[in-house]
Amino acid sequence: MKKQLTKKYNKQKKLFVPEKMILTAGSSISKKEISYVLDAVSNGWNEHAFDYLHKFEYAFASYIGVKHALATSGGTGALWLGLATLGIGPGDEVIIPEITYFACSDVVVLLGAKPVFVDVLKDTWCMDPKALKNAITSKTKAIMPVHIYGNPAEMDEIMDIAKKHKLKVVEDACPAIGAEYKNKKPGSFGEFGAFSFQGAKIMVTGVGGMLVTNDDALFEKAVYLNDHGEAKNYRKFWQTSVGYEFEMSNLQAALGLAQLERIDEFVAKKRQIFDWYEKRLRYVDGLSLNFERPGTKSNRWMSSIIMDKDIGIQRDDLREALKKRKIDTRPFFYPISMFPMYTEQNTPIAHHIGLQGINLPSGLQITEKEVDYIAKSVLDVLGVS
């Protein structure tokens, strides 16, 4: 019945209907990427084994506006290494927003420390500085703000609180490459910033990440720990600490360098995609979209909607109905304290956002026609059209 209606509706309005599922993410690979990777695989060996790695790290640090960058196996490895370098361990507490990818809490737990989950802001979906302040105890050692879905966290307030309480800050800027907070890039505020180039992110290396810092000594220590704690200057294969190996390959760095050289194009496209959605969905009662506070710029990594509870359809039923129309979506990240390893926290905003939020298709290849089709489908399922 519903299907028939849709068909009829499609016919009347001459709706474009996709042949394949429209996916939530998707990268853009051009001749530049292919030529850099071909060069790396052909020539990037022996004395050239680190050429692309060093070029990529140097270019990334200057793009973010920091002194140092270390390419890693992924965003998770970068977060882990950052916390390890700061000496986070048993007995320490690290404050994390509820709405994030579970990499954040995993690395804290794996270091023997305790993640403390706090609520988020209703508009930006990032850590609420008031909730952060209330969660600080004598055991708190670090704060991990997350620039979720490319929306910048409130870094002025968070850095003030960190300074006042002498806490370290490791920013999860994994999805936020190209975002801005008061003319500075997320990831450049704390002791460390972590980025991800996983396949769904705005720029990709397949898997991969980057750890950045402005602190010379911390950078040196991170490099040393990521080299298994080998005291290279003393003796080859002489270890003075147990360590890690969250490495990126030169081949991936070649891909990453080419992607970074095109980052402005990617951010512009992501913002364009959001504008297309916003034009069509912003007036719908019961839906809220990504929000940009004055003085900030989101990279609009994922165009998203939050559904009011009384909108008349369950979040997952809307996702199911969209899937039938060949529209792929992602649920928001669940509040992490809901998982069985933790004690569920009273974080009403995170619970609302985490259970009512949907990431809409936002891949770099998406067209306005497709966005139009998706927005019309959302309206149709909601009964607004």
Ligand X SMILES: *Cc1c(COP(=O)(O)O)cnc(C)c1O
Query: Which residues would be at the binding site for ligand X (CB under 6 A)?
Result: 74-76, 100-101, 103, 146, 148, 172, 174-175, 196, 198, 201, 209
Give whichever of 254 and 381 is closer to ligand X, judged by the CB atom.
254
φ, ψ (nearest 5 deg) of residue 287: -120, 135
Tell the smallest beta-carbon distance from residue 185 to ligand X (Å). Answer: 16
Tell the smallest beta-carbon distance from residue 194 to ligand X (Å). Answer: 7
> Taking Cα atoms as reference points, which of 198, 230, 260 lies closest to residue 53?
260
> Could you tell me the maximum CA-CA distance found in the chain, to the nearest angstrom?
76
Beta bridge partners of 171: 193
380 vs 383: CA distance, rounded Å: 5
Cα–Cα separations (whole angstroms), residue 230 to 46, 80, 81, 242: 21, 18, 15, 8
Give whichever of 101 and 373 is closer to ligand X, judged by the CB atom.
101
Task: Return the residue nearest ligand X (CB atom).
Answer: 75
353 vs 84: CA distance, rounded Å: 31
Tell the smallest beta-carbon distance from residue 338 to ligand X (Å). Answer: 17
Give whichever of 136 and 173 is closer to ligand X, judged by the CB atom.
173
Tell the smallest beta-carbon distance from residue 78 to ligand X (Å). Answer: 8
Location of structure tokens 């913002």: 271
Give whichever of 97 and 380 is closer to ligand X, judged by the CB atom.
97
Tell the smallest beta-carbon distance from residue 102 to ligand X (Å). Answer: 8
Identify the sign of the CA torsion 103, 109, 112, 116: positive
Give whichever of 99 and 375 is closer to ligand X, judged by the CB atom.
99
131 vs 126: CA distance, rounded Å: 11
Tell the smallest beta-carbon distance from residue 132 to ligand X (Å). Answer: 17
The SS3 of residue 169 is strand
Give whichever of 101 and 244 is closer to ligand X, judged by the CB atom.
101
Location of structure tokens 């710029």: 297
